[in-house]
């Protein structure tokens, strides 16, 4: 049944999964070697084979958040919607929206033949500075393609609330940060510029860009690159995807992008991806492939720092309350501080 002979691995009962796959009329056969894939700090990814086909299963962590199952259902929906578009993404095979089956909603997707640049580069990429430079441009092209998708045409009506999307952002994330104080043991947000950044965002909010799909957590750790060149093999981790203002994805890319010294709030890229284009070059590359007005892109960068920083602070708060790994919580708090410090340079 598995590499270990166990019928359950990381919250997935393999006998139940096997029967469900039969119901989905997927190729029959015994579930083969099951491998835990690394990716993110929360969700569970398992790779396995059955009936001559390879699969990746994605489900929430064992200790789920209140919205974990709905997040899985949304991920599956957006991946299904992207089928047939030129947006590089994992192909959806089948989804189970009912959490009662294995204790959580889950879905099966195609494995991606690609690599995460944060874990090292293949020989081809490491030895060619031009390829590394084009890897950066490929990231800009990925979200430009996503922003160009007609969300209504691909069946994502009601997937988000695009009307007033920008107007809601500061209050939404401010309230989420305040909610962390309900967790016992959390000392409060020791984050530089929390109020000044929020006030600046409210005072300088631009007119909203045309509504479209946004990934919601777009940075270099959430893409896989092709082994054959600089192209994206897939954009991954769609749990924050919605319909809103897609320029926030470009803001997030710039917010996390290495500076001239190779440093990023999400970790140093120095020595790993030497030769990347500058943030401004990335913006220009996106602009050449989009009809969207980028005059206010700095505002989106600040919002991306504010939003992602508050999201990551949630894991720190849960870690203080004993509900998440403390080492990871501390690491993500440091990342939050770095994001807010970067945001302050734009004010």
Residues 159 and 304 in one domain: yes
Average pLDDT over residues 38-66: 87
Give the model's pLDDT for residue 261. 79
Burial, 284: exposed, middle or buried (Cβ in 10 Å; 0-12, 13-18, 19+)?
middle
pLDDT of residue 2: 38
Total number of domains in the chain: 2
d(CA 9, CA 18) in angstroms, rounded, equals 13
Band (pLDDT 50/70/90 cuts) for residue 304 is very high
Same domain, 161 and 283: yes
Residue 54 clears pLDDT 80, i.e. is over it = yes
- Same structural domain for residues 158 and 237? yes
Rounded to the nearest integer, the mean pLDDT of the chain is 93
- How far CA 323 is from CA of 65, 99, 186, in Å, comes to 10, 21, 11
Mean predicted confidence (pLDDT) in 70-91:
97
pLDDT above 80 (res 41): no
**Final residue before a domain boundary, out of 109, 128, 148:** 109
pTM assigned to the model: 0.91
**pLDDT surpasses 50 at 4:** no
Q: For residue 1, is it within any domain?
A: no
Whether 96 maps to a domain, the answer reads yes
- Decide if 67 is inside a domain: yes
Is the pLDDT higher at 119 or at 226? 226
Domain that holds residue 14: 8-109
Q: Indicate the length of the chain as a whole number.
A: 347
Does residue 21 sit in the same domain as residue 38?
yes
Q: What is the pLDDT of residue 285?
A: 98
Same domain flag for 157 and 105: no
What CATH number is given to the structural domain containing 305? 3.90.1200.10
User: 319 and 266: one domain?
Assistant: yes
pLDDT tens-place string over residues 87-97: 999 999 999 99
Give the domain-ending residue among 44, 79, 109.
109
Give the residue-averaged pLDDT of 262-289: 83
**Are residues 58 and 155 located together in one domain of the fold?**
no
| One domain, residues 279 and 140 | yes
């Amino acid at each position: 049944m598995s590499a270990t002979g166990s019928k359950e691995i990381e919250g997935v009962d393999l006998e139940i999964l096997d029967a469900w796959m039969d119901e989905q009329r997927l190729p029959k056969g015994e579930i083969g070697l099951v491998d835990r894939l690394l990716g993110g700090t929360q969700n569970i990814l398992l790779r396995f084979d059955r009936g001559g086909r390879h699969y990746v299963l994605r489900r929430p962590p064992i200790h789920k958040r209140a919205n974990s199952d709905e997040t899985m259902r949304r991920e599956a929906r957006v991946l299904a919607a992207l089928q047939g578009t030129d947006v590089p993404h994992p192909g959806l095979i089948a989804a189970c929206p009912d959490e009662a089956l294995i204790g959580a909603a889950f879905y099966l997707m195609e494995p991606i033949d690609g690599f995460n640049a944060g874990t090292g580069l293949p020989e081809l990429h490491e030895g060619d500075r031009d390829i590394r430079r084009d890897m950066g441009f490929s990231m800009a092209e990925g979200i430009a393609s996503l922003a160009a998708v007609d969300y209504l045409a691909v069946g994502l009506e009601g997937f988000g609330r695009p009307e007033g999307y920008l107007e809601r952002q500061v209050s939404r994330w401010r309230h989420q940060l305040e909610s962390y104080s309900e967790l016992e043991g959390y000392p409060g947000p020791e984050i530089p510029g929390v109020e000044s950044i929020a006030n600046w965002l409210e005072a300088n909010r631009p007119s909203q860009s045309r509504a479209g799909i946004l990934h919601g957590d777009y940075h270099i750790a959430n893409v896989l690159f092709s082994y054959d060149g600089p192209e994206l093999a897939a954009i991954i981790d769609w749990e924050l995807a919605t319909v809103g203002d897609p320029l926030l994805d470009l803001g997030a890319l710039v917010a996390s992008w290495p500076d001239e010294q190779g440093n990023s709030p999400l970790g140093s890229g120095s020595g790993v991806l030497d030769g990347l284009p500058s943030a401004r070059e990335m913006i220009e590359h996106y602009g050449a492939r989009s009809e969207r007005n980028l005059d206010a892109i700095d505002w989106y960068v600040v919002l991306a720092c504010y939003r992602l920083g508050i999201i990551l602070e949630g894991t720190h708060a849960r870690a203080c309350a004993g509900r998440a790994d403390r080492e990871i919580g501390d690491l993500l708090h440091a990342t939050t501080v770095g994001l807010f410090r970067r945001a302050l340079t734009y004010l």
